[in-house]
Structures are given as structure tokens and as C-alpha cells.
Amino acid sequence: MAQTHDVLIIGGGLVGASLALALDRAGVAATLVDAAPPAAMPAVFDQRNLSFADATVNALTALGVMQRLRAPAGAIRRIHASRNGDFGRVLLDAADYGRDSFGQVVVARDFGAALESRLAELPRVVRLRPARFLGFGDLADGLREVRVGGGDGERILRARLVVAADGTDSAVRNALGIAVGRHDYRQRLFVARLRTQRAPDGIAYERLGDDGPTALLPRGDGAWGLVHGVAEAEADRVAGLADRDFMLRVQDAFGWRAGRFLEVGERSPYPALRVVAQQTTAQRAVLVGNAAQTLHPIGAQGFNLGLRDALTLAELIAGADDPGADALLEAHAARRHEDRTRTLAFSDGMARVTASRVPLMRPLRGLGLAALDRVPSLQALLAGGAMGYRGDVPALCRRGAA
Ligand SMILES: Cc1cc2nc3c(=O)[nH]c(=O)nc-3n(C[C@H](O)[C@H](O)[C@H](O)COP(=O)(O)OP(=O)(O)OC[C@H]3O[C@@H](n4cnc5c(N)ncnc54)[C@H](O)[C@@H]3O)c2cc1C
């Protein structure tokens, strides 16, 4: 006899696990399915540095996650954006917006451990792992059948709502037959921990270059979180560089604002992709997080946006009789539209500016940054996005939601 679940979340990564917490807080029992076994965190909880927007920090505090971080988070009090070889730069200060910080830098591995520790406290959340989504069965009587395979073979689950939180290559999205728009920016991003002469002091630096961004994020452990983008054609060569030569290369791209680069940790490479689902709902199914949209990491928006997908869904389900009703799913798509569209356009625009080698673009880009630094209304728009306040903001994102 197949088990029946109200809300079946496929994917216990950053967004899926956060959704389970938000549903639990709303009194809704969720079942969280992940391909990774209980003893191993999903691979996505790795050494990447995540900038949590202010709205995200508020929500994760209300959900009891920020309090469980073992390593201190690094506050982003100012954002400094400039372009290699161009005139102009932007400096945004959180104090100008009445805030202590735009957000916090957290290492994904630490975030995973904090989520896990919080989930372990909630008896209502059911975990199925290792359990891999294999496909759908029947769709009848207000229930969708799901086939999963795991340690004890294949089994069938039934759910009133299936949530696809299974990441960029979402098998759930494919099984639903939802098409995607895909763009490969032909860049590889190297992420590493970096120590420099000057320790972080609350400034996040984003240096835009022809082949990708170089960002230094102020971690809470006295080191920087480095992201260095290189053209795909050069990526293997850069991966093979000795640490010293890698640091020389990055210092050349970034400059001296953080002093001399002293020591770099292990480098992890990531592709830079945009994968956008053409629709985010189907009958008794909804896509959230990277399954719905994967963005270039340059704007540090992917998880922040995905969390807002999840929180909006939890809000709608909290007050509903049927979590998979067509009207609820339509309301979700409608409420997410503005934030999704604007955040996608922002991240894509930033990514394309860094990738363009057209000489005529240079003065325009420089002017853009210089102008932005002088026009408070434009800055406020940028800062609002950086803090995660776009569109119809979920209640948990507001200050004091806890
Ligand atoms: C270098 C880098 C830096 C980034 N920096 C930031 C940042 O600063 N700020 C920000 O907001 N975002 C950032 N992001 C984006 C962020 O990492 C993603 O948006 C986020 O991981 C998406 O979470 P998700 O839960 O949707 O998907 P994922 O985190 O990919 O999780 C998917 C989960 O689904 C599981 N799964 C997959 N297939 C199946 C299956 N068939 N059955 C069962 N389970 C399955 C996986 O095990 C995994 O646990 C960055 C990304 C990169 C690459």
C-alpha cells in the first residue's frame, strides 16, 4: 500500500530543507526526500560561500537556523563594485539604508550542518533518504504517484503536492515535461578560501573583468571567500596553476584593495549557467529553487531567490485545505512572477556585462558604474535587490519576523 503525503519535497538541498522548516513552522507536515544517505550531507553543501541577503537572514533566524551556525557569519556592511580597466565604481553602504548590513556570508557546508541540526529537532518532518526520484505514476483522485528508489529498492509514494527542489538538472521537472531555456556563459568560477594582508572589514568586493567576476566576500573567520571567473577555454590551465601562480593571477585581476594575497585554500570549480523553466507549476506539482531557475552566481541571488519561492509556497499552503489545488499553484506562480523576472534580469545583465569584450561597451559600462554611484534612486534599487526585497516579499523575510 503506497504511503500518502500532503507535501512531498524532492531534494533536501538548500531550498528543499528550508521549505521543510518553513512548512513545519506553519504546522504543515512535510516529507523530505533526498538522494544522499543520512550519514552524508548532500554534495551541494560544499565550500562555496553564500551571501545571504538581509531578507534571507531574517527568515533563517525566524526558522531557527542562523542561531545554529557553528562558525561566525561575516557581515556585509558595504558593497564595492568596479570594473577592471574601466572608469567608475559603486560603493553602497548599508548604513545609508538604515541597516547594519546588506546580509551575511556563510559557508554552504556550515549552513548544511545548521539546517540538519534544526531539522533533527522537528518530529513532524519525515525524512526519506537515500531515496532518488525515478518518475511519476498515476495522477488521480487529487493525488500524484511518485516512484523513488533507495536503499530498500523501489517504492511508490502518493502526494497531494510534489515539490521539485532537486536542483539545476531537475529530474522532476523533466518528468513533468517542462521545457527550459538554457544559456552557458562559457565561464568557470573558482571558489576558494583566501587570506590577504588586510583582513576583511565588512566590505564585499565585486570586480568585473572580461572573462568573469572576481569577488572577495568577507567571511566571519578572518578569511575572504574568493570567487574567480575565467573563460572556459582557459579553465583547465588555471585549474593546474600552482597556488602561488593562481594568487598572482587573481591579484592581477582584483588589484590591491585587500593588500597582498598570502595564502589560498583548495579551489573548487563551477560552471556558470542560466537554466530557466518555462513554467513553474503543473498539476499537483511546483518547481522551486534551482529546479525553477538557476542563475549565474555573480549577483549572489540563486539561493536567496529560491528561498523566497519556498517561503511563499509555505505561506500559501499554511492557510489552505488542499496544498496541491490548482488555484494555490496559480497564486504561487503569480506571486513569484515579479521577483523572479527582476532577479533573473539583474543577474543575467551583470553576467553579460562581465563577459563582453566589445571595446565600445567599455566607456558605457564605466559610465554606468560612475552614474550609479551618483544617483541615489538607482542605488536604492540595487541595494533593495541585494537585501532581497523584491516583489511580494514573504512575511518571514521581514525584520523581526521571529
Ligand atoms: C559558486 C557558487 C556560488 C554561489 N553563491 C551564492 C550566493 O552567494 N548567494 C546565493 O543566494 N546563491 C548562491 N549560489 C546559488 C546556490 O548555491 C543555489 O541557488 C542553491 O544551491 C539552490 O538550492 P536548491 O535546493 O534549489 O538546489 P541544490 O542546492 O542543488 O539541491 C538539490 C538537492 O536535490 C537532491 N537531488 C537531486 N536529484 C535528486 C533526485 N533525483 N532524487 C532525490 N534528490 C535529488 C540533491 O541531492 C540536492 O540535495 C551559488 C552557486 C554557486 C555555484
Domain-embedded: residue 95: no
Is the C-beta atom of 293 inside 6 A of ligand 1?
no
| pLDDT, average across residues 98-126 | 95
Instruction: Give the model's pLDDT for residue 109.
Output: 96
Each residue of 140-178: pLDDT tens digit?
Answer: 999 999 999 997 889 999 999 999 999 999 999 999 999
Contact 325, 37 (CB under 8 A): no
Domain-embedded: residue 225: no
Please, is 252 exposed, middle or buried when counting C-beta atoms within 10 Å of its C-beta (0-12, 13-18, 19+)? exposed
The CATH number linked to 112 is 3.50.50.60
Confidence of residue 380 (pLDDT cuts 50, 70, 90): low
Instruction: Give the model's pLDDT for residue 382.
Output: 67
Of the listed ranges 96-100, 245-249, 376-380, 382-386, the least confidently predicted one is 376-380
Domain-embedded: residue 76: no
**Considering Cα of 272, then 302, then 285, then 337, what sign does the dihedral take?**
negative
Instruction: Give the model's pLDDT for residue 329.
Output: 98
What is d(CA 113, CA 12) in angstroms, rounded to the nearest whole number? 12
Mean pLDDT (the chain) is 91
Domain-embedded: residue 264: no
Domain total of the chain: 1
Residues 6 or more apart whose Cβ sits within 8 Å of residue 315: 26, 394, 395
% of the chain at pLDDT higher than 70: 91
Q: How many whole angstroms from 166 Cα to the centroid of ligand 1?
A: 8
pTM of the model: 0.94
Please, is 16 exposed, middle or buried when counting C-beta atoms within 10 Å of its C-beta (0-12, 13-18, 19+)? buried
Is the C-beta atom of 167 inside 6 A of ligand 1?
yes
Contact 92, 379 (CB under 8 A): yes
Q: Quick one: which of 35, 36, 47, 40 has its CA closest to 269?
A: 47
Per the structure, the complete domain to which residue 314 belongs is given by 3-69+106-181+274-353+390-397
Residues 6 or more apart whose Cβ sits within 8 Å of residue 94: 76, 77, 78, 100, 101, 102, 383
Q: Look at residue 402 and tell me whether its pLDDT is greater than 70.
A: no
Cell 572576481, residue located:
214
Give the residue, out of 8, 10, 21, 44, with the most ligand 1 atoms within 8 A of its beta carbon, to mutate for a pocket test: 44
What is d(CA 328, CA 245) in angstroms, rounded to the nearest whole number? 54
Instruction: Give the model's pLDDT for residue 249.
Output: 97
Instruction: Give the model's pLDDT for residue 85.
Output: 67
Q: Look at residue 361 and tell me whether its pLDDT is greater than 50.
A: no
User: Would you call 111 helix, strand, or coil by DSSP?
Assistant: helix
Backbone angles phi, psi at 10, to 5 degrees: -95, 110
Write the DSSP assignment of 136-192 as a string of letters.
EEEEETTEEEEEEEETTEEEEEEEEEEEE---TT-HHHHHTT--EEEEEEEEEEEEE
Contact 176, 279 (CB under 8 A): no
Within its chain, how far is the Cα of 145 from the centroid? Answer: 29
Highest mean pLDDT among 135-144, 337-346, 375-384: 135-144
- Hey, what's the cell of 155? 517504492
Domain-embedded: residue 204: no
Domain-embedded: residue 120: yes
Instruction: Give the model's pLDDT for residue 359.
Output: 45
Instruction: Give the model's pLDDT for residue 386.
Output: 76
Each residue of 78-93: pLDDT tens digit?
Answer: 999 887 766 567 888 9
What is d(CA 270, CA 301) in angstroms, rounded to the nearest whole number? 16
For residue 364, give Cα distances in angstroms to 250, 334, 355, 360.
Answer: 25, 35, 14, 7
- Hey, what's the cell of 236? 583547465
What is d(CA 375, CA 395) in angstroms, rounded to the nearest whole number? 30
Instruction: Give the model's pLDDT for residue 105.
Output: 96
Instruction: Give the model's pLDDT for residue 313.
Output: 98
Q: Look at residue 365 and tell me whether its pLDDT is greater than 90.
A: no
Confidence of residue 367 (pLDDT cuts 50, 70, 90): very low
50 membership: H or E segment, kind and range:
strand 49-53
Q: Look at residue 275 and tell me whether its pLDDT is greater than 50.
A: yes
Q: How many whole angstroms from 146 Cα to the centroid of ligand 1?
A: 22
- Partner residues linked to 30 by β-bridges: 7
- Hey, what's the cell of 67? 542561531
The DSSP secondary-structure symbol of 166 reads -
Q: How many whole angstroms from 271 Cα to the centroid of ligand 1?
A: 13
Give the residue, out of 34, 188, 303, with the most ligand 1 atoms within 8 A of its beta carbon, to mutate for a pocket test: 303
Instruction: Give the model's pLDDT for residue 371.
Output: 54
Each residue of 22-41: pLDDT tens digit?
Answer: 999 999 999 999 999 998 99
Confidence of residue 360 (pLDDT cuts 50, 70, 90): very low
Domain-embedded: residue 309: yes
Q: Look at residue 353 and tell me whether its pLDDT is greater than 80.
A: no
The DSSP secondary-structure symbol of 141 reads T
| pLDDT, average across residues 28-57 | 95
- Hey, what's the cell of 139? 495522477
Highest mean pLDDT among 65-69, 202-206, 354-358: 65-69
For ligand 1, atom 39, which residue shows the shortest CA distance?
A: 166
- Residue 3 vs residue 303, higher pLDDT: 303
Closest ligand 1 atom to Cα of 303: 11
Cell 597582498, residue located:
260
What is d(CA 91, CA 13) in angstroms, rounded to the nearest whole number? 33
For residue 98, give Cα distances in angstroms to 18, 21, 112, 336, 396.
Answer: 28, 29, 30, 27, 19
Give the residue, out of 128, 134, 166, 214, with the most ligand 1 atoms within 8 A of its beta carbon, to mutate for a pocket test: 166
| pLDDT, average across residues 348-358 | 64
Q: Look at residue 107 and tell me whether its pLDDT is greater than 60.
A: yes
Domain-embedded: residue 245: no
Instruction: Give the model's pLDDT for residue 355.
Output: 57
